[in-house]
Structure 1
Amino acid sequence: MPQLNPNPWFLIMALTWLSLTLLFLTKLLLTTLTNPPSPHLNTPSTPNWTWPWT
């Protein structure tokens, strides 16, 4: 029975997580630049910051 080589799967998973992380950071950066935080920092109950994946 041939031994399975996990290297290709590990590479695929690593690239997938790296891509998702870069995509999340890019969306987060764009959201922060296009929608700056509110100057009223004393009202944290109503933040105008939205999740990047929505």
Structure 2
Amino acid sequence: MPQLNPAPWFTILIFSWLIFLTVLPPKIMAHSYPNVLTHQNTKKTKTEAWPWPWH
């Protein structure tokens, strides 16, 4: 493969990553997620025995 001059390609790489890191994260983080977590009730419920015939 022929050797390329790294000067213009390195600056293009750096500027493209700077654009990706400054423009895209706020756009991605602005999305709202439909599954919002809710707190469950912390009270203990009384468990009852099941009336199953085991014989």
Pick the TM interval, shorter chain: 0.3 to 0.5
TM-score with structure 1 length normalisation? 0.43
Instruction: Answer 1 or 2: higher relative contact order, Cα 8 Å, separation at least 6.
Output: 1
Tell which structure's C-alpha radius of gyration is larger: 2
TM-score with structure 2 length normalisation? 0.43
**Greater helix share, structure number:** 1
